[in-house]
Homo-oligomer: A and B are copies of this chain.
């Protein structure tokens, strides 16, 4: 059963005449006659009764006509959707994220992507970093957002944004009275470090540059855990600016002023050999993204005026 024959049949049924249908289909009458015949033969059913003025649908033909419209429409819909999937306008996209990346641009970036790609389903995989690299290399996810990533031969990265460091302070801490924190203010301050190297590597550089050893009182699993500890009064923490999106009781954020340029990066990682058009679409979206949001985040923070 060829769909072309089905369309020939539909036109013939509409015209109630093989000759006129052939005209509409831009072919001559004999081939169309044979198409109808072979369709009838294939189904083992008479579809038309031949009259002196043309043809007329039998009951079986009427039944076929109803289905033919549906089937034809169904196929066209399917081809349309497949083309959309192939061009990256529809489908499913699996993305890994880790901890604090969720506080950053992820929601904005992905909702921007969703707006231009409404038929793409985005599935986030919020798992530990090692698992994510595995998943990425095995193709279980298409890409991942992470702050720090080791160099890997088949993985490429693009920087999504850079953020300055802020200090999270408990409200009882006298430093929270200052509008901004200098690096020397932290010399005796009990600090909360995080296990993930994303921020701590940057901090370590900073401290060695200013020649002092920080007083680390806790180790947190990720940035969010670190902030919760600040809220509990265990100490202060150095965090990227996007932490302002996380509001916790008794926590006050203050910008960190440093001599050297000390910024925290967020990267998007993907396989170099991946050919999915969805990746192209997503990369295009990532590259064109500007991290405008920070200003409003700062403005909305109650501790800042």
Contact = CB atoms under 8 A, between A and B. Distances in A.
A260 interface: no
Interface in A148-175: none
A60 B43 contact: no
A82 B3 contact: no
Contact of A45 (B1, B2, B86): B86
* Chain A interface mostly: helix
A78 B59 contact: no
Contacts of A81: 63, 67
Contact of A276 (B45, B59, B78, B278): B59
Given A79-B43, A81-B67, A60 B86 contact: yes
Interface string A1-36: 111100000000000000000000000000000000
A64 B43 contact: no
A262 interface: no
Interface string A61-87: 001100110110011011101110110
A43 B3 contact: no
A92 interface: yes
A91 interface: yes
A46 interface: yes
A67 B74 contact: yes
Contacts of A45: 82-83, 85-86
Contact of A46 (B43, B79, B86): B86
B70 A74 contact: yes
A64 to B, nearest CB: 5
Interface residues of A, number: 32
Contacts of A64: 78, 82
A59 B278 contact: yes
A278 B60 CA distance: 11
A4 B92 CA distance: 28
User: Could you say which of A2, A63, A75, A278 has the most chain B C-beta atoms within 10 Å of its C-beta?
Assistant: A63
A44 interface: yes
Given A3-B1, A43-B83, A45-B86, A71 B63 contact: no
Interface string A206-249: 00000000000000000000000000000000000000000000
A67 B92 CA distance: 16
Contacts of A68: 78
A287 to B, nearest CB: 22
A82 B60 contact: yes
Nearest to A49: B275
User: Could you say which of A68, A82, A276 has the most chain B C-beta atoms within 10 Å of its C-beta?
Assistant: A82
Contacts of A75: 1, 67, 71
8 contacts: A1-B4, A44-B86, A59-B85, A59-B92, A63-B85, A64-B82, A67-B75, A70-B74
Given A3-B3, A64-B78, 5 more contacts: A43-B86, A60-B82, A63-B91, A67-B82, A70-B74
